[in-house]
Chain A
């Protein structure tokens, strides 16, 4: 069964809306969570690395104020797309890691901004 739950799976909203995406590790404590963005028929682009209890580390070119990441507990990280615009439409995927085990990925959130 799924070990990482991502919610919601799909969001359609108007331009200017802020959208929160949740990523939960279901049966393990994830010391690190990652947020990726995937454009149609393209690879995953790492947006940021989130460590529990500390500020996220953003990749070059990713706007920190646009994509707010919170990792308040060992089982939950959230990505908030603030004041979303059509160019933010994409497939967002989280993953969670623990110790020596490989990362587990959520099923992704398809965000469509009208």
Chain B
């Protein structure tokens, strides 16, 4: 079955530091890949997505590239801000549509200190 392995946290960085959160996956076929962000006490918000190999998703300075050869979708940001403090989830689904169930990684808690 499908699975997502995500870098364990918590991760604590200083403001303006470079961020990488690793994510690898196991899936049959050609899954779509997602990063979701969860702020305290809230639901999940889609941060970015990629639906095929070599696609790069980007949003709010965050980027992730769909690497089929390494089955990875690492999240990166060049300069983090305090407001980026949240929990980040890597996820995959069998297709890109909203009717496909998602498989999530365990989440990585990110704390940015001023």
Contact = CB atoms under 8 A, between A and B. Distances in A.
Main secondary structure on A side of the interface with B: strand
Interface string A5-31: 010000000000000000000000011
A99 interface: yes
Contacts, number: 67
B34 A102 contact: yes
Contacts of A44: 44, 89, 102, 104
B98 A32 contact: yes
Interface string B72-114: 0000000000000000010000001111111111110100000
Interface in A44-66: 44, 46, 49
B98 A93 contact: no
A34 B34 contact: no
B96 A100 contact: yes
Contacts of B45: 105
Chain A interface: which size bin?
Answer: 20 to 34
10 contacts: A34-B101, A41-B109, A43-B105, A93-B43, A93-B44, A100-B98, A102-B49, A103-B46, A107-B41, A110-B41
Interface of B: 34, 36, 41-46, 49, 89, 96-107, 109
Given A97-B98, A104-B46, A107-B41, 18 more contacts: A42-B106, A43-B106, A44-B89, A46-B103, A93-B44, A95-B44, A96-B98, A97-B97, A97-B100, A99-B97, A100-B96, A101-B97, A101-B98, A102-B49, A105-B36, A105-B43, A107-B43, A108-B41
